[in-house]
Amino acid sequence: MRILHTMLRVGNLQKSIDFYTQVLGMSLLRQRDNPEYQYTLAFLGYGTNPEHAELELTYNYGVDHYELGTAYGHIALAVPDAAEACAKMKAAGGVVTREAGPVKGGSTVIAFVQDPDGYKIELIQRPA
């Protein structure tokens, strides 16, 4: 077994696509509208299945926000330099909620950015 994708419900599909492509550097892999059932799906990622897991954004017609609840944690992305990634994301309009620095109780350098719907994305510094 392997992870194929993670799905997030979003309130503004284009705004979310712009964030994931322009701020996080993902590619829009495919998009499908289903007017009969009133939803649109967009799949994004750094590559396609089966080599890479994808992110599925689901827009349900007429729903502009969701309660995130307390169960959701974050999505994690590897970056070669967390501080540099934060600077680039800020310049692209991203919201950094935790600047790059060591994780509490450890030495791994992490940072957090937030998407337009409030979902957290962790940036974990890993050598290239």
The answer to whether residues 14 and 65 touch, using CB atoms and an 8 Å cutoff, is no
The answer to whether residues 32 and 26 touch, using CB atoms and an 8 Å cutoff, is no
Q: Are residues 82 and 121 in the same domain?
A: yes
Length of the chain: 128
**Domain holding 36: CATH number?**
3.10.180.10
- Assess if residue 67 is contained within a domain: no
Take residue 118 and report the two structure tokens written for it.
């409030």
87 — phi, psi (to 5°)?
-60, -45
Q: What is the mean pLDDT of residues 22-30?
A: 97
Whether the predicted pLDDT of 79 surpasses 90: yes
82-99 pLDDT per residue, tens: 999 999 999 999 999 999
pLDDT averaged over the chain?
95
CB atoms closer than 10 angstroms to residue 41: 15
Q: What is the pLDDT of residue 71?
A: 85
pLDDT category of residue 127 using cuts at 50, 70 and 90? confident
- Assess if residue 23 is contained within a domain: yes
Q: What is the pLDDT of residue 50?
A: 86
- Assess if residue 43 is contained within a domain: yes
Positions marked active-site: 122
Whether the predicted pLDDT of 68 surpasses 80: yes
DSSP, collapsed to helix, strand or coil, labels residue 24 as coil
The answer to whether residues 42 and 56 touch, using CB atoms and an 8 Å cutoff, is yes
Handedness of CA 11, 14, 17, 23 (dihedral sign): negative
The answer to whether residues 21 and 31 touch, using CB atoms and an 8 Å cutoff, is no
Domain region containing 81:
75-125
109 — phi, psi (to 5°)?
-85, 125
- Assess if residue 83 is contained within a domain: yes
Q: Are residues 15 and 51 in the same domain?
A: yes
Q: Are residues 55 and 94 in the same domain?
A: no
Q: CA 58 to CA 78: how far, in whole Å?
A: 24
Q: What is the mean pLDDT of residues 9-20?
A: 98
Q: What is the pLDDT of residue 3?
A: 86
Domain count, the chain: 2
Q: What is the mean pLDDT of residues 21-29?
A: 97
28-61 pLDDT per residue, tens: 999 999 999 999 999 999 999 889 999 999 999 9
